[in-house]
Structure 1
Amino acid sequence: MPKDAVVYLRYGPYSAVGLSVEHRTFRLEGLQAVLMRDGHEVILEKIENWNVVELVLNGEVVFWCNIKDLEFGGDGKLDPLCEEARLAVLKAY
Structure 2
Amino acid sequence: MSFLFLKIYYGPCNTFDCCQHKPQLLTGVRDRLMNMGFRLTMIPVKFINYCMFEMCGHEIFRCNLKNLKFNHSYKLDPVCQRAVEAVLSSAKKFRYARNTLWFWSVLNHQLFRRHEFEPVDYWPVEIDWTELAPINECFDCCQMLLKYEKKKEDDESDSGVTIPFEARGKFVG
Deviation at 1:16, TM superposition (A): 2.2
Corresponding position of 1:88: 86
Deviation at 1:74, TM superposition (A): 2.2
Any residues of structure 2 matched to 1:54-93 within 5 Å, and which?
A: 54-92=52-90, 93=94
Structure with greater proportional helix content: 2
Q: Secondary structure at 2:60's aligned position in 1?
A: strand
Structure with greater proportional strand content: 1
Deviation at 1:13, TM superposition (A): 1.0
Corresponding position of 1:12: 11
Corresponding position of 1:30: 28
Query: Whole-Å Cα distance in 2 between the matches of residues 33 and 77 of structure 1?
Result: 11
Deviation at 1:53, TM superposition (A): 0.6
TM-score (norm 1): 0.87
Q: Secondary structure at 1:71's aligned position in 2?
A: coil
4+ long deviations beyond 2 Å: none
Query: Whole-Å Cα distance in 2 between the matches of residues 34 and 77 of structure 1?
Result: 9
Q: Secondary structure at 2:54's aligned position in 1?
A: strand
Query: Whole-Å Cα distance in 1 between the matches of residues 55 and 10 of structure 2?
Result: 14
Preserved contact between residue 34 and residue 82 of structure 1 (Cα < 8 Å):
no
Corresponding position of 2:40: 42
Q: Which runs of 5+ in 2 are unaligned?
A: 95-173
> 72-81 or 61-70: which moved more?
72-81
Query: Whole-Å Cα distance in 2 between the matches of residues 76 and 65 of structure 1?
Result: 16
Query: Whole-Å Cα distance in 2 between the matches of residues 16 and 33 of structure 1?
Result: 23
Q: Secondary structure at 1:34's aligned position in 2?
A: helix
| Structure with bigger RCO (C-alpha 8 Å, 6+ apart) | 1
Q: Given residue 14 of structure 2, which amino acid in structure 1 is its aligned partner? A: S
* Residue-pair matches, total: 90
Deviation at 1:42, TM superposition (A): 1.1
Deviation at 1:54, TM superposition (A): 0.5
Q: Which runs of 5+ in 1 are unaligned?
A: none
Q: Given residue 71 of structure 2, which amino acid in structure 1 is its aligned partner? A: G
Q: Given residue 67 of structure 1, which amino acid in structure 2 is its aligned partner? A: L
Query: Whole-Å Cα distance in 1 between the matches of residues 70 and 44 of structure 2?
Result: 18
Deviation at 1:24, TM superposition (A): 1.4
Preserved contact between residue 7 and residue 56 of structure 1 (Cα < 8 Å):
yes
Q: Given residue 59 of structure 1, which amino acid in structure 2 is its aligned partner? A: G
